[in-house]
Chain A
């Protein structure tokens, strides 16, 4: 029979533009969050993390925003490059368990 996979949202951006990838997490007790990038055929790669006592954290070209009131996390990528094309996952940690969201496909158009 035909298999039905996860339907991942896709974000298409022009090279050089900024990208914003959003994520809703499920557990209000989660105290640590991580964004991952996964390229085809590779394992998830750590991008940036944030603890629940912060609402913003910046890295190189990336910023993570956390809104605990509405359980929302976002990843901003500045000056998006073709090499940023990948699937991006947010993950929430409670206790020692890291649980992943479904992911968002980022496509960068040159």
Chain B
């Protein structure tokens, strides 16, 4: 099993640009989570999906952030427009009956 796959692994962009992060969960896992990790705030839950449906997006910082899960094998997290304070590592994770398995993360730098 390849585990949770995220792309790109690194993204450097200028303030104001649109950023799209991608995630492929582990096959058969019915829940998908997006987290953000920073030195200031640690690991924060942004949004999670159950059976492709967004269940709780209360952690999404503001309207500039949006997430979709068009099918069971793909999700995106979009930031439009990006700002320097969005710089962080963004993790996608998927869940079977127990546990939560993380991808390698996307390190985003907004200059």
Contacts and interface: CB of A to CB of B under 8 A. Distances in A.
Interface of A: 3-6, 32, 34, 36, 42-46, 49, 89, 91, 96-103
A44 B40 contact: no
A32 B4 CA distance: 22
Contacts, number: 51
Interface string B54-85: 01100000000000000000000000000000
Contacts of B48: 96-97
A34 B99 contact: yes
B45 A102 contact: no
Main secondary structure of the interface of B (DSSP, over half): strand
Contacts of B41: 6
B103 A98 contact: no
A39 B48 CA distance: 24
7 closest Cβ pairs, A-B complex = A5-B39, A43-B102, A100-B43, A44-B102, A43-B105, A43-B104, A46-B99
B26 to A, nearest CB: 12
Contacts of B93: 43
20 contacts: A3-B39, A3-B40, A4-B40, A32-B98, A43-B4, A43-B104, A43-B105, A44-B43, A44-B102, A45-B102, A46-B99, A46-B100, A46-B101, A46-B102, A96-B50, A96-B56, A97-B45, A98-B45, A98-B100, A103-B42
